[in-house]
Amino acid sequence: MAKLFDCITEELQGFIAAQHIFFVGSAPLSSTGHINLSPKGLDCFRILSPNQVGYVDLTGSGNETSAHLQENGRITFMFCAFQEPACILRLYGQGNTILPSSPDWNSLYSLFTPIAGTRQIIVADIQQVQTSCGFGVPLYEYQGQRQTLVNWASKKGEDAVREYQQQKNLISIDGLATPLNKEFISQNSGVIINE
């Protein structure tokens, strides 16, 4: 049976801390736009307060969440237990993207373990929390975090990772600009990236 909360209680904070993976959902406003759902790991999630969370977002082949947040702010996080006891936890909120050039970057990033390939931090104000049974989620045994993405970024180097971001992370698959797009334009004297 589903239960609603107006904040992340201490018990739910403990549940989140015990999970090795979470999922992030976002969507554009357009009814024909693509809904995005991304799995995340590597100890990148932090509870900033009972009503605020954040995670370090690593460089990847897309940047959908950031584009959606810039357009409308809506975000959902889901954690589910793959061991007993069963539980699914959803956090519903409004989020925004913090780039390394932001005045808030240093204070926020200091709360995380540095990870090679870090692109931005996603911060969300949580308006509603929901738990449900999770009885249909299968049992899995945790073996460890993959290091492939971290190794890729370390080997590539910071300059090459930034170049990759400029090639792959400025526009969503639906053509929405990301905050990285605006930053790139301002740093390159008005060069316009297709929006």
| Spatial distance between the Cα atoms of 70 and 174, rounded to a whole number of angstroms | 13
pLDDT at residue 146 greater than cutoff 50: yes
DSSP state of 61: S
For residue range 177-192, what is the model confidence (pLDDT) as tens digits? Answer: 999 998 888 777 554 4
Query: In the predicted model, what is the mean pLDDT of residues 88-93?
Result: 98
pLDDT at residue 193 greater than cutoff 50: no
DSSP state of 73: -
Domains of the chain, each with CATH number or no CATH: 3-135+148-187 (2.30.110.10)
| Spatial distance between the Cα atoms of 43 and 37, rounded to a whole number of angstroms | 18
| Spatial distance between the Cα atoms of 149 and 165, rounded to a whole number of angstroms | 14
pLDDT at residue 67 greater than cutoff 80: yes
Q: Which two tokens stand for residue 119?
A: 């692109």
Q: What is the pLDDT of residue 189?
A: 56
Residue 194's pLDDT band, with cuts at 50, 70 and 90, is very low
